[in-house]
Structure 1
Amino acid sequence: MAQRLPIGKIAAWIIAVLAVMIAALVVFLLTFDWNRARPWIDDKVTQAIGRQFHITGDLKVGWQRPPSETGWRRWVPWPRFSAQHITIANPDWAKQPQFATLDEIDFQVEVLPLLARDIVIPTINLVNPSIDLERLEDNRNNWTFRFNQPAEPSTWHLTLHDIAFATGHVAYADQLTQADMQVVVDTLGQPVPIGDVMKQQEQASRESSAQVVGKSGATQLHKQVETRQVEASAASAASSAAAASSGPASPASTSANTGTTSQQKSKPSVPSYGLGWTLRGTYKKTAVSGSGKVGGVLALQDTTRPFPVQADVKIGDTHIALAGTVTAPAHLAALDLKLWLQGVSMAHLYPIAGVPLPETPPYATEGRLVGQFNEDGNVFRYENFTGRVGGSDVNGSTVYVGEKPRPMVSGELVSNLLQFSDLAPIIGADTNASKAKRGEPSRQPSNKALPVEQFKTDRWKAVDADVKFTGRRIIKDPALPITHLYTHVIMTDGVLTFEPLKFGVAGGTLASNIYLDSSTTPLKGRFATQARHLKLKQLFPTVKTMQSALGEVNGDAALSATGNSPAALAATSNGEVRALITDGTVSRLYMEAAGLNVLNVVYEKLFGKRDVKINCAAVDFVVTNGVLESRVFALDTDDAVINMDGHIDLQTEQMDLGIHPHTKGLRVISLRSPLYVKGTFKNPHVGVNAAALAVRGGAVVGLGLVNPFAALIPLIAPSNNKPLPCAQMLADMRAAPSAPPAGQKQREKAAPAYLASGAAGPAEDSPGGAARAQAASKTAPAGPAAASEAQYRGR
């Protein structure tokens, strides 16, 4: 029988063999030239990532005892791997040859977890990492890798606790967004809590707001924010009290102050900021600079915890700052940020956000930006923001939905104190200095009153919009009788409408429905305007003699036009404009002065303050290719009838109007003569018809040579004019004005019925007046009046 070896000897042999093997392995690991393994490692990594991978420097493996372990574990050494000068190639279409370069990488691997097929790496140290990111117009990019998937899933698991590096560089060139930027990333040294960063950004943004809207504007903005916070807290307290009285609060109840739910409050806390970055470059050929902070690299892996982000960036003259969190940043699931915006004009946000906002004065806003990223369309809400635009405040909420075929922007905005002058840039009616400040290349000609600045119709199809705006109180020149504003702006597939654009004017309303279609060049426009219950005395709030006037102005206008600016639309307009005044009173002094009744004016100045009754007044213009012809412009009072004829040319901005006063009753020392209004909108000229006045003056001189008392005869004006047919005027003016399709000329219409008598037509003592009155009497339809003032005013 074979002799059995003692178990002790067997164990000794096994231990000896293992010791020799370990010693041999240690000697091998310590003496092996690992650079020989570089070709094999390069090949395996290249196959795995689908890009050329190279280690061109030394590849080393060393052993170190773990500094963080205690007890017997600290005697188990960990291998430490290091490699120098690593490169990952770019695709052949990229401008730069390398996607990533790294001066050195080193890391340790825990030994004991390897027995359970776990690869645990406490820290990876990166030395001077540099990444090149590129994207072409056809959407090809170099950051998408085609990894070779193994046939069977690996039984090994990788755990990485930290990534450390001193300074990293990222280059980003994107032909789709026209971005070319350089980013430097560095560690902060120590973690920074999100609350500290939020306070710092809030202070920095308010200092920046003062530079844009002025210190006073920034102070007002700060007060607005505090007021809204108090209102939100009160609303939250009221909501909590109501919920307490009705029963237990719902677990998804929302806090009005923070906008978070109780479910959200139970989520894990936000990690601290670990990395800082700075940015330089261009975006759509506009200079970009900025800085910010983000959480640590490994925080990206935890999709259950919000990832902190902060940025303070300038793009041209626009300043954007944000601080908050992103959920699952690798997939951009959601975001919740405090957002500050400042700039010279809101229109400059279009290249950045793709939303065609109007031109505005310098602005500053702050609010909360909440976003959800969905396959059907991303949704972003700028909630409960407040801001300053010029000298006005603005508050509200807007929603952006990235739906197809176009994104949709909706919202409700309110201004409690609106500077009327802040509306001027919207239509290009601001000064040339203001235009230069907001970067507008076009300038308003010095001889033009109507704005010539072009609408940016190329942007109108970028998004659809449904926005309501309310200006509760308008601050303006005392002579301007406007009190408030409301408009509902709708934009659909390049068609912009205001339904309505409504002003509070002189105790009444001036409401317009405006339709602008940019699908053609130039755009086509339609305008329908209603003036209702405008009080005469409030129309002239700074004229003392009008403060006793009574009566209301009611009117309608219908116009169509083509053109890409307010001036071009006015120059091509066609349609009708009508207005009426009935049952009012006006200062007799005005009526006497209009008739140049000298003695009566002197008497009224010295002794009289009587008002004269307005029987009726009518304005009826027909508009043809931008020229307003006065079909009827007449005023009938107990003392006088005043007619006006002529035209107003909106293309040349020239006026040529004749005013013909007709006295009722005896007037002594009357220089009754036609007046004129001529010149341009910028430089109008009002005066007396010199020829007619010279005839009267010549008669005075001639009769004075015969008999001094006879010289007064030409200056005594007896009653020689019939009153206006007010009832018939009301009946005919009740018909709504009309306009042809945009681009077509206004068709000629029969004269109104009230012109049949010739009483309201052009004065017969005006040039051509008798002929026009006779022609009007032939074309006017016959028939009694069938309408009343109440019927018109009630429309």
Structure 2
Amino acid sequence: MFRPSRKFWISLVFIFGSCGVLAYALFPFIKTELYRETLERGFSAAMGRAVSLEGPLSLTFSLHPRLILEDVSVSNPPWTSHPHFFRADRLEIGLSLGPLLQRRLEAEKIAFEGAELFLEEGAEGLDNWTFRKDSQPGIVSLALPSVFMTISERGEIIIERSRVRYRSYPDGETTDVSIHRGVANAPDDQHRKFSIEGTYRDSPVNIELIGGRIMDLFTLTEAWPVDGVLLTTGASASVKGSVGGADSDQMFELQVRVEGDRLSALNAFLKVGLPDSAPFMIAANVVKTPDAINLHDVGGTLGASDLAGQLSIEHGGRGQKITGRLTSHSLQIHDLTSLSDVKGSQKEPSLEQPESNASASMSLDVDLDVTIEKLLLGETELGSLSLTAGIREGQVLLDPIQMKSFGGTLQANLDVDLKNSAPRTRLKAQVRSFNFGQALEAFGVTKDIAGQSNMDVLAFGDGTTLQELLRRLNVDIRTDLTIFARSDSHPENRLPVASPQLSLRISKGGPIEIRGKGTFQDKTYGVRLMTASLIEMIESKKPWPVSLTAQRGEAVLAATGTLNPDRSEMSGTLGVLLKGKNLSELHADLPAVGPYQFKARVTKEGPRYRVNDFQSRFGTSDLAGTLEVATENNTPQFTGILHAEHVNFRELSTPGDSPIPTEAFNAVNGNLKMIIHQANIGELKLADLIVDAKLHAGLLTVKDLQGTLYNEKSSYGSFQGRLDLDTTKPIPSVSGQMTLKDIRYEYVFSDVDFVNPKDHVINLHANFSSDGATVDTLLAQSTVTLTGHNIQVRLHGGTNRREPLDLRSNLLVESVTGGPLRVYAEGQLENTPFRLRFSGGQMSDLLDNKGFWPVNVRADVPRAMAEVSGYVDLPHPGENFSLQVHV
């Protein structure tokens, strides 16, 4: 017969003993339904709120027992809008076995599923998350005071499929946060680590936070530490500080920093309509007391803009009061004015207060000082700005607004009345000593204008949004006497323009219209400019339409086209027309020729200008072609090709005593080619004239100058040469050379009977040089030499002689520094050698064609000589002369 061993009995006793001990420990919880009311009273007493356990309660037995509660809720204070502060579909509590054997409940793990937390603010600083403090050390059942429930120092909390709802005061707006999964554990005895993955306003949210113990958060008798990071799409926020504390009136003190790669990343998260702009950052030390929120050490950046200062938001019985001072070292307007289309949850920037919050808006007082040291528009510095902003009883007032810009000052005030359904905005400003020359240069329009003006500005409109305001805006800007001129170092070149009044008008958000009248060189002028509306300039990506008309005397200028809004260089294309009766009415130095008309299509792309489809007509001359000017370097560079059917240079000639424009020659570089089918230079007629010129650093080189001399019937010959003009010297100098080919001398000396002139062509070579500050001086002081070698012609000696004569000769014509004109010829006539000398008066007198010009001619042949001397009246050479003949 089998006898149980001693070990068997010992094991059996141990098992039954353990079961007995476990049954003793768990006896109060086996029939949990009997203790529902007791547990509810215990939880309620500990939290200071009514706790309800509506669902089934159960306890699982294992080495890690679990207490499961379903349909758990914690009530809210009576003043709140929701009955529950907290509720959960399922609450699972993992218990420690050791304390459980001692009839103590110690939670190792708490898991919430389907939980909802309702947070709400109330009047006078109330909130529903501040609990009545209880000195009881733990959660205790009043019926069974020996049963305690505490959370293990290393306990863990898990939250799944839950939600937090927050209702703000006074607007009553509700905000929801969905928690897909959240975990809280204890890295040490004093801190808890929280990790949350969820969704906030359709944006994914990840939170990593280290704080104090969870139960301390309900009492806040000591400062509860906070150190965490929030991540969402395109943005992040970090928070560090503390909440609560027994010895301080501060509700919390937090160092907050928010940053992201674009401002619009906050739109869905904050339910706003921020533009899709540059990277941003904002940081502040936020201190909240029962009566105020103070923001210390505020600092932020948005693209190239920065901001720093202090803010205070006080809560009083009559509403909120905001005071502070903000300073920006650099503020980029492009960082703030993007008005891209708002999609989804984004809102259009609004000036209107919701009707339901009208009373709230009336109780908001604001006093804010703003200083901007450098205001930028793209790369253009506009100046400095300071303003004081205030809000009183539904009225926004910016007064004063002070600005220093382009050498001038601005004093203004802005008033926005929010009491109407469509807020009404009114701006009044005075601008003094505004230097528009600096402004035009800064915006890349021109560097050649100088002047300043005073102006008065009045603008008003109404609208619930910024776009609506711009569509209804009325603007009236008027100036007093304005004088502007070219920014030239020489007073005679400044050409001042006086305008008694200029005006800019915008009517009901329509196109911008600028009008002006004044005087220029003792003649009145009028100008009118029409362009896009403000809303089109700010909101549209399309080119702006531009229409300009101006008239001065008989001269009319018209320009129509578009300007590109997305480039700071103000690129665009304009069709330009200039016409009038006489060119000299534009400027006294221009030739008196007319009528005239110039047409072209001018395109500006960055620093380059292109003139296409250029066509002109002035007097009997015409000119057409293309030009391009590049201004990216210090010295502009131009290139162009011009062609003409006919040019009358006599019509286009300017007074010879006009100074050579040396500054203009040194101000630009370029290459220009001209092709002229027919041209007139005084009595000379040219055909197929080609001029290929290069200008660099004040040196003008005509490297190819060619054409044909002709009369009405036939050609006199062709020419080809080059010319160099040096304007870098104190006195300009010119030099060059010319070759005359295939001279048809039979047409020059039509009274002579030449024999087969085509078989005996003549070629001549000329050199010339001169110095002078004017064209007249260059001609009067020129040195000219004309040479011909082996000249051979055959001609009939007269009507009685039939045999032709054979003439062979060398030729030299010269004038040194404008001195007497001399001609030397040596050769043979038939077999008789000869030498011919001619001496005349000054070359300048011959060019001027005035006065009595001395003449001396001597011819030498073997054993004979003939000489003629006297003078010729140049204006009437065939009528008035005196000659003496000596043989």
Amino acid at match of 2:35: I
Question: Corresponding residue for 2:797?
Answer: none
Q: Write the deviation string for residues 151-188 of structure 1: whole angstroms up to 9, x where unpaired.
A: xx999898969544234226224273122224523324
2:178 to 162, 180, 201: 180
Asked if the contact 1:318–1:341 (Cα under 8 Å) also holds between the matched residues in 2, the reply is yes
Amino acid at match of 2:176: Q
Name the CA distance, whole Å, in 2 between partners of 1:544 and 1:97.
67
Asked if the contact 2:351–2:466 (Cα under 8 Å) also holds between the matched residues in 1, the reply is no
Asked if the contact 1:677–1:684 (Cα under 8 Å) also holds between the matched residues in 2, the reply is no
Question: Corresponding residue for 1:220?
Answer: none
Asked if the contact 1:319–1:342 (Cα under 8 Å) also holds between the matched residues in 2, the reply is yes
Q: Write the deviation string for residues 747-790 of structure 1: whole angstroms up to 9, x where unpaired.
A: xxxxxxxxxxxxxxxxxxxxxxxxxxxxxxxxxxxxxxxxxxxx
Question: Corresponding residue for 1:384?
Answer: 297
2:39 to 45, 52, 64: 45
Q: Write the deviation string for residues 560-616 of structure 1: whole angstroms up to 9, x where unpaired.
A: 22345656544433352201344x552288xxxxxxxxxxxxxx9xx9863244555
Q: Write the deviation string for residues 415-456 of structure 1: whole angstroms up to 9, x where unpaired.
A: 22333432433xx2xxxxxx58xx76799xxxxxxxxx9423
What's the offset of the Cα at 1:310? 1.8
Q: Write the deviation string for residues 698-726 of structure 1: whole angstroms up to 9, x where unpaired.
A: 89349xxxxx89968999xxxxxxxxxxx
Asked if the contact 2:532–2:546 (Cα under 8 Å) also holds between the matched residues in 1, the reply is yes
1:126 to 101, 108, 125: 108
Counting only pairs closer than 5 Å after superposition, residues 265-344 of structure 1 correspond to structure 2 as 272=190, 274-300=191-217, 303-328=220-245, 334-344=251-261
Question: Corresponding residue for 2:155?
Answer: 165
What's the offset of the Cα at 1:542? 5.5
What's the offset of the Cα at 1:536? 4.3
Question: Corresponding residue for 2:328?
Answer: 415
Structure 1 unaligned regions, length at least 5: 1-22, 63-80, 112-118, 192-271, 429-434, 444-452, 590-603, 663-671, 703-707, 716-795
Partner secondary structure for residue 175 of structure 2? coil
Q: Write the deviation string for residues 257-283 of structure 1: whole angstroms up to 9, x where unpaired.
A: xxxxxxxxxxxxxxx5x2111112222
Report how many residues are paired.
Answer: 526
Question: Corresponding residue for 2:516?
Answer: 633
- Residues 173 and 322 of structure 1: CA distance in aligned 2, closer, same or farther (over 3 Å): closer
Asked if the contact 2:68–2:90 (Cα under 8 Å) also holds between the matched residues in 1, the reply is no
What's the offset of the Cα at 1:292? 1.0
- Residues 646 and 343 of structure 1: CA distance in aligned 2, closer, same or farther (over 3 Å): closer
Is 2:344 aligned against 1:470? Answer: no
Q: Write the deviation string for residues 497-534 of structure 1: whole angstroms up to 9, x where unpaired.
A: 54355442111124543344556565433222322111
- Residues 354 and 297 of structure 1: CA distance in aligned 2, closer, same or farther (over 3 Å): same
Name the CA distance, whole Å, in 2 between partners of 1:566 and 1:42.
60
Name the CA distance, whole Å, in 1 between partners of 2:108 and 2:421.
58
Question: Corresponding residue for 2:431?
Answer: 531
Partner secondary structure for residue 41 of structure 1? helix
Counting only pairs closer than 5 Å after superposition, residues 649-660 of structure 1 correspond to structure 2 as 650=533, 654-660=545-551
- Residues 696 and 633 of structure 1: CA distance in aligned 2, closer, same or farther (over 3 Å): same
Structure 2 unaligned regions, length at least 5: 1-16, 45-50, 76-82, 137-141, 167-173, 537-543, 565-571, 583-593, 598-616, 622-647, 656-887
Root mean square deviation of aligned Cα: 5.5
Is 2:481 aligned against 1:576? Answer: no
Asked if the contact 1:99–1:142 (Cα under 8 Å) also holds between the matched residues in 2, the reply is no
What's the offset of the Cα at 1:554? 0.7
Is 2:502 aligned against 1:619? Answer: yes
Amino acid at match of 1:56: S
Question: Corresponding residue for 2:555?
Answer: 673
Q: Which has the higher contact order (CA 8 A, sep 6+)?
A: 1
Name the CA distance, whole Å, in 2 between partners of 1:32 and 1:608.
109
Amino acid at match of 1:688: L
What's the offset of the Cα at 1:628? 6.7
Q: Write the deviation string for residues 388-431 of structure 1: whole angstroms up to 9, x where unpaired.
A: 21122221122234557765544322122333432433xx2xxx
Question: Corresponding residue for 2:311?
Answer: 398
- Residues 681 and 287 of structure 1: CA distance in aligned 2, closer, same or farther (over 3 Å): same
1:687 to 563, 568, 576: 576
Name the CA distance, whole Å, in 1 between partners of 2:461 and 2:407.
30
Amino acid at match of 1:41: Y
Task: Write 1 or 2 for the structure with the bigger share of helix.
Answer: 1
Partner secondary structure for residue 277 of structure 1? strand
What's the offset of the Cα at 1:142? 12
Name the CA distance, whole Å, in 2 between partners of 1:143 and 1:416.
41
Counting only pairs closer than 5 Å after superposition, residues 599-610 of structure 1 correspond to structure 2 as 610=493
Name the CA distance, whole Å, in 2 between partners of 1:507 and 1:160.
73
Question: Corresponding residue for 2:414?
Answer: 514
- Residues 648 and 564 of structure 1: CA distance in aligned 2, closer, same or farther (over 3 Å): farther
Question: Corresponding residue for 1:190?
Answer: 188
TM-score normalised by the chain length of structure 1: 0.53
Q: Write the deviation string for residues 304-346 of structure 1: whole angstroms up to 9, x where unpaired.
A: 5311112211245432110111124999952122211113566
Partner secondary structure for residue 177 of structure 1? strand
Task: Write 1 or 2 for the structure with the bigger share of strand.
Answer: 2
Asked if the contact 2:273–2:349 (Cα under 8 Å) also holds between the matched residues in 1, the reply is no
Asked if the contact 1:318–1:343 (Cα under 8 Å) also holds between the matched residues in 2, the reply is yes
Name the CA distance, whole Å, in 2 between partners of 1:557 and 1:571.
18
Name the CA distance, whole Å, in 1 between partners of 2:247 and 2:262.
33
Name the CA distance, whole Å, in 2 between partners of 1:32 and 1:135.
31
Counting only pairs closer than 5 Å after superposition, residues 344-493 of structure 1 correspond to structure 2 as 344=261, 361-372=278-289, 374=290, 377=291, 379-402=292-315, 407-425=320-338, 428=339, 435=340, 454-457=348-351, 464=364, 465-475=366-376, 480=380, 482-491=382-391
Asked if the contact 2:262–2:277 (Cα under 8 Å) also holds between the matched residues in 1, the reply is yes
Partner secondary structure for residue 291 of structure 1? strand
- Residues 284 and 403 of structure 1: CA distance in aligned 2, closer, same or farther (over 3 Å): farther
Asked if the contact 2:456–2:477 (Cα under 8 Å) also holds between the matched residues in 1, the reply is yes
Q: Which moved more, 1:614-623 or 1:136-145?
A: 136-145
Partner secondary structure for residue 337 of structure 2? helix
Name the CA distance, whole Å, in 2 between partners of 1:469 and 1:577.
26
- Residues 172 and 643 of structure 1: CA distance in aligned 2, closer, same or farther (over 3 Å): same
Is 2:557 aligned against 1:661? Answer: no
Amino acid at match of 1:365: I
TM-score normalised by the chain length of structure 2: 0.49
Name the CA distance, whole Å, in 1 between partners of 2:90 and 2:246.
22
Name the CA distance, whole Å, in 2 between partners of 1:581 and 1:406.
50
What's the offset of the Cα at 1:42? 2.5
What's the offset of the Cα at 1:659? 0.8
Q: Write the deviation string for residues 69-115 of structure 1: whole angstroms up to 9, x where unpaired.
A: xxxxxxxxxxxx9764344534899998636332436574999xxxx
1:587 to 478, 481, 486: 486
What's the offset of the Cα at 1:289? 1.8
- Residues 412 and 329 of structure 1: CA distance in aligned 2, closer, same or farther (over 3 Å): same
- Residues 316 and 494 of structure 1: CA distance in aligned 2, closer, same or farther (over 3 Å): farther
Asked if the contact 1:335–1:371 (Cα under 8 Å) also holds between the matched residues in 2, the reply is yes
Name the CA distance, whole Å, in 2 between partners of 1:383 and 1:340.
12
What's the offset of the Cα at 1:459? 6.7
Asked if the contact 1:627–1:648 (Cα under 8 Å) also holds between the matched residues in 2, the reply is no
Q: Which moved more, 1:501-510 or 1:327-336?
A: 327-336
Q: Which moved more, 1:383-392 or 1:639-648?
A: 639-648
- Residues 476 and 328 of structure 1: CA distance in aligned 2, closer, same or farther (over 3 Å): same
